[in-house]
Amino acid sequence: MEDGRSIYAIIGIEAQSNVHYAMPVRNMVYDAMRYDAQLQEIRQRHDKCKDLQADEYLSNFAKTDKLKPIFTLTIYFGAKPWDAPRSLKEMVDYPEALKPYLNDYHLNLLAPLEIEDFNIFQTEFGKVMELISSYKSKESMYNKFDRSKYNDMSDETNDFITAITDGEIQFKKEGEKRIMFPAFEEVRRDYISIGEAKGLVRGVENSSKTLNVTIKKACDIYGCTLQEYEDAKALLAKEHD
């Protein structure tokens, strides 16, 4: 609805920390309930004014009445990709012949891994979403993050980050600020270990391929034990889980 300069709409927010595989239906129900609430308000207004007749009276809705648009935005705070349906049709099993007649409902989704530019946000929300998009990857944390920009956030935002990451990201009080220093130091140490593991695995496997020898023999040539090679492989596999 517009009054010349302003647009009036009802926006609902659904926060999700986990992927929800029935989200289109869930949000569709919420939207329907909010539209029904508007209908009830309009009906009460007409009941009070006694201004409806004939079909309008039976409908409790005048031909000129309008509803305010409703938008439900799902904000997903999870670190893994959203692999759930994004529309009603994705959830329904129907033959192709019925496709033209099946009404659809699309999910409005905001997911951290799908945001390309976090600078579009004017509040700390952008920092939160950027952190969520990377905190599970030590390589991303080590390479991408400027720790200092997370040192001046509000206590509420810090607490929210700690909660949404199940305590994996912690803040420490230093003077008037709460900084993420311990978390970044852990990332730095782990990332260095990962870098060393990558170098070891790459060196052994290149030696094995180039010299046409077994991995065990390549370990001897490279100067490490077979167990050290296997431990390095396991560390890299864990990093990519």
Assigned domain for 4 exists? no
Domain that holds residue 200: 186-240
Assigned domain for 18 exists? yes
Q: Mean pLDDT across the chain, nearest whole number?
A: 84
Amino acid type, 82: W
Assigned domain for 137 exists? yes
pLDDT tens per residue, range 4-13: 556 677 888 8
How far apart, in whole angstroms, are the C-alpha atoms of residue 209 and residue 77? 43
Q: Is 158 exposed, middle or buried (0-12, 13-18, 19+ CB in 10 A)?
A: buried
Residues 35 and 86 in one domain: yes
How far apart, in whole angstroms, are the C-alpha atoms of residue 45 and residue 61? 10
- The packing angle between helices 181-211 and 226-240, to 10°, is 130
Q: Which of 145, 162, 180 represents a domain boundary (last residue)? A: 180
pLDDT tens per residue, range 19-75: 999 999 999 999 999 999 999 999 999 999 999 899 999 999 999 999 999 999 999
* Residue 147, phi then psi, degrees to nearest 5: -60, -35
Residues 130 and 90 in one domain: no
Assigned domain for 163 exists? yes
What average pLDDT does range 152-163 have in this prediction? 84
